[in-house]
Structure 1
Amino acid sequence: MEYKIRALTDSDYTNYLQLINQFRPTTFTEEDYKTILHQIHDMSTIWVIEYNNELIGTATIMYEYKFIRNIVKLAHVEDICIDHRYRNKGLGTILLKFVVNEATNQQCYKIILDCDEKLEHFYNKSGFKKNGIQMANYFI
């Protein structure tokens, strides 16, 4: 399987929306998509796996500077999604390794993520360890 990992672009709107709608139904305009994509550019990147001109996977990496740690960078991984037709082929692991490498290249002191309990084993295999608890306060 020959694939390419690259950053999401303005022209990916339709294919990206189709991919992420497999995981959580969402709607937003192409104009909003482009606006947000440009706004997040400085502190995050949405990566995609492209195969035969189709987006089959995605992961988001966001960066945060930590003043409390002498202004070092922390990476958050979010929204790792693989098209249901391409699951169990190692693409999630490949994409995760890619974003971990990106965080390393950005000289982050650590990389964190939140996941469903059923995915804990997947992330453990890639070197992630359970650390504390996640808490949330939802407004919407």
Structure 2
Amino acid sequence: MVDCSILEPRYSIGNLSVEDYDNGVLHVLSQLTTVGDVRREDFNKFVKLQQDNENHKTFVIKDIETNKVVGIATLLIEIKLIHGYSKVGHIEDVAIDKSVRGKKLGAYIIRYLCELAKSRGCYKTILDCDDENVGFYGKCGLSRRGVEMEYRD
């Protein structure tokens, strides 16, 4: 697993929990994209679904002193029909609060999820990002491969 000594003692990483609704998780996500109206009831259902699904996990970084969420990312594990039913990790929705950027929390959560995916049997871990973030993810050990395509209706 990731060497926790590189994470400042002030911060901890763990699974998304229902308490995170009141601890700023939606605020952190809103710095990445439009979140919309997420009701507490729906948030709690989302957390419960993840507790029951070993292939879909969201992790948060918290400031231990304030209990506030300062980072978030999701790992999805896809089971493939090819390569002998191999697994691929997909990292999604990586966001670090503006107030703590520059403390290597983003690099930490990326490495954490990559190593978790590897320990779960994934032969590779991928993510999609905007061009302006390629340099950051390169510093985290990822390399540019292919092109992302999307369809929106």
- 1:1-140 aligned within 5 A: 1=8, 2-14=10-22, 15-26=24-35, 27-41=37-51, 42=53, 43-51=55-63, 52=65, 53-139=67-153
- Moved segments of 4+, more than 4 Å: none
SS at match of 2:82: helix
TM-score scaled by structure 2? 0.85
* Change in CA separation of 1:84 and 1:127 when aligned onto 2, cut-off 3 Å: same
Q: 1:26-85 CA deviation, whole Å, 9 max, x = no partner?
A: 221111112122224412110000112111001110011001121111100011110000
Identity %: 31
| Unmatched 5+ stretches in structure 1 | none
Could you tell me which residue of structure 1 aligns to residue 4 of structure 2? Answer: none
Bigger relative CO (Cα 8 Å, ≥ 6 apart): 2
Shift of the alpha carbon at 1:9? 0.7
CA distance in 1, matches of 2:86, 2:34: 36
Q: Deviations over 1:91-112 (max 9, x none)?
A: 1111111111111111101000
**Equivalent position SS for 1:92:** helix
Deviation at 1:138, TM superposition (A): 1.2
| Higher deviation after alignment, 129-138 or 10-19 | 10-19
